[in-house]
Amino acid sequence: MRCILRVLTQEDCKAARAYLNLKAGDLAEISGVSIDTLRSFESGRSKTLSASNQAAIVHAFEAQGIQFLDTGKAAAGPGVALRTGDGE
């Protein structure tokens, strides 16, 4: 798996799953991460994921076409992005 440059947030996870119209069980199945772990993370009961679980989730999303962008990085196609508070 690839090196992850930034931490996957609960918001990133929920947004990517919603964009793909995946249920938590669907993501659990394609990522190999337990549904309990996903639900705990997305609900905020667990603030972080282990490195291996984070990598598995990111890899699963990327295999479905999701791009995780750092500030200032542009997407290679159509999609949505959240504008930063400073107008960028």
Mean pLDDT for the stretch of residues 81-88: 61
Task: Give the residue carrying structure tokens 């090196």.
Answer: 3
Classify domain 10-63 by CATH number: 1.10.260.40
Q: How far is CA 30 from CA 14, 80, 81, 86, in A?
A: 15, 23, 24, 36
pLDDT in tens, 4-19: 456 889 998 999 999 9
Are the C-beta atoms of 20 and 67 separated by less than 8 Å?
no
What would the pLDDT profile of 42-71 be if each residue is shown by its tens digit?
Answer: 999 998 899 999 999 999 999 998 888 776
Comparing C-alpha atoms, which of 54, 55, 73, 63 is closest to residue 22? 63
Q: What is the pLDDT of residue 10?
A: 92
